[in-house]
Amino acid sequence: MTADIHDIADHRPHLMVVASDGAHVIPRSLVQSVIDGKQPSSILTEPVVQRIIEEWLQKVSA
């Protein structure tokens, strides 16, 4: 298995998501484009989406 590694210095700010399959650093603009419907949510892995939803649910339930 191989993974693409990208220098995200030019894509700040970014988010770090610790998902079940490891840590992911994702540009905030990418997440915003998914929210805005400009990118499909499938661009994010299932474990990342699960973790984002989990953290959101913790925030709204607190």
Is pTM beyond 0.85? Reply is no
Helix and strand counts by DSSP (H, E) for the chain:
2, 2
CB 48 within 8 A of CB 39: no
- Between strands 22-27 and 14-19, the pairing is antiparallel
Tens of pLDDT along 2-57?
A: 777 777 677 789 899 999 999 998 999 999 999 999 999 999 999 999 999 999 99
Domain ranges of the chain: 10-61
